[in-house]
Structure 1
Amino acid sequence: MKRLAVYCGSATPADPRYIELAREVGTSLAGQGIGVVYGGGRLGLMGAIAGAARAAGGDVIGVIPEALVSREVANYDCDLTIVATMHERKAAFTRLSDGFLVLPGGVGTMDELWEAVSWAQLGYHGKPVGILNAFGFYDGLLEFNRHMAEVGFVRPAHQGIIMAERELDLLLTRMRAHEPITPIVKMNPDTL
């Protein structure tokens, strides 16, 4: 893995652990030679991960929609690409990265996570999707994902798309060992 798209919040929660987590992840990825592709802002967890990765000598690529350049205070201290739409932003994340690493975040982070999972199911990419479940932040989401599978809305072949761990190194080890799943487009229609 040379680059990971890192999805995380542009907000700064009151609990300082979240910003510290983002800094630790940025520093660790840079130390392992893994570049960061992220949302291109200087605020919140996004800004913390980018700043820490750059400070540790890492490669940081920001991709931000034109409409958010001033709203999210675009980070010009990275290789910044300004695109027209959110769709272009997410397509760039997929094109530029070797996988997806999800840290705590809000609605935008959820949108990015579920698109990465959906695109894997459909066969638009065969890259790993990892959730860093720090502080149990994603416990409810992971339980909901299990519920969708139990009910039958996530096919057995796709139940392993999301990898989740509480420790970054363990998650990265799993992501490096990732084997692409059989996407829907390659499945027998009679078994769908």
Structure 2
Amino acid sequence: MAKLRSVCVYCGTRTGNEPAFEALAEEAGRRVAQAGYRLVFGGGTAGLAGIAARAAADAGGTVLGVIPEFLIPVEGAFEGIELRKVATLGARKSMMIAESDGFLALPGGTGTLEEVFDLLTRRNLGLENKPVAFVDNQFWGPFSTLLDHVVRYEFTDPALVDGLSFEPDIQSALAALRIGEPG
């Protein structure tokens, strides 16, 4: 497997109702930057996504944001980073995937779920095979159970879950992505 150079962080544009989620996002951004990798995210300032990006930037990391123009009034546009503006959510997802070598999924809502499902669909179709780590099993545990359920009933191939990892913390998740020295 090639060494990772960019890590995409999927997470909510809200902070949720658990303070631990904010700490998790901050740690994700900081650790990605400290490891020498570019953090790729959705480009806005809101919620966990904004916290992760700010932490990466504050730690001296390189950050790439990708945001649809129509979302700027809703999510804000992160300043002081490379920010690419696109027309659609589909273009955003495609660019984030193309620019990333591995993925961290933190807690989030429907947008995060959509990004994760888009990536899993591409994996299922053989279009992508990049590693994915879901962080905080208390949040993602039911999702893992759902994937097992879909596989058990043969609505997808068991290979879909190859390369997926469900980890309790950021350090374990980054290790699961096999991050070594930046490539």
Return 5+ residue gaps in structure 1 as ranges: 178-192
Deviation digits for residues 17-38 of structure 1 (CA, Å, limit 9, x no counterpart): 1111100111111111121100
User: Is the partner of 1:57 in helix, strand or coil?
Assistant: coil
Q: Which residue of 2 is the match for residue 187 of structure 1?
A: none
The answer as to whether partners of 1:2 and 1:34 remain within 8 angstroms in 2 is: yes
| 1:16 positional shift | 1.5
**Large movers: runs of 4+ above 4 Å:** none
| Counterpart amino acid of residue 81 in structure 1 | R
User: Is the partner of 1:145 in helix, strand or coil?
Assistant: helix
The answer as to whether partners of 2:15 and 2:47 remain within 8 angstroms in 1 is: yes
Q: Which residue of 2 is the match for residue 13 of structure 1?
A: 16
Rg comparison, structure with higher value: 1
Give yes or no for the alignment of 1:156 onto 2:161. no
| 1:14 positional shift | 3.2
Q: TM-score, normalised by structure 2?
A: 0.91
Q: TM-score, normalised by structure 1?
A: 0.87
User: Is the partner of 1:63 in helix, strand or coil?
Assistant: strand
Q: Which residue of 1 is the match for residue 50 of structure 2?
A: 47
The answer as to whether partners of 1:120 and 1:161 remain within 8 angstroms in 2 is: no
Matches within 5 A, 1:2-81: 2-81=5-84
Equivalent residue for 1:142, pick from 135, 141, 144: 144
Distance in structure 2 (CA, Å) of the matches to 1:21 and 1:159: 24
| Counterpart amino acid of residue 48 in structure 1 | I
| 1:168 positional shift | 1.8
Q: Which residue of 1 is the match for residue 131 of structure 2?
A: 128
Matches within 5 A, 1:95-106: 95-106=98-109
| 1:95 positional shift | 1.1
What's the C-alpha RMSD, in Å, of the aligned pairs?
1.3
Determine which structure has greater relative contact order: mean sequence separation of CA pairs < 8 Å that are 6+ residues apart, divided by chain length.
2
Q: Which residue of 2 is the match for residue 183 of structure 1?
A: none
Q: Which residue of 2 is the match for residue 112 of structure 1?
A: 115
Distance in structure 2 (CA, Å) of the matches to 1:81 and 1:73: 13
The answer as to whether partners of 2:124 and 2:156 remain within 8 angstroms in 1 is: no
Quick one: percent identity of the two aligned structures? Answer: 37
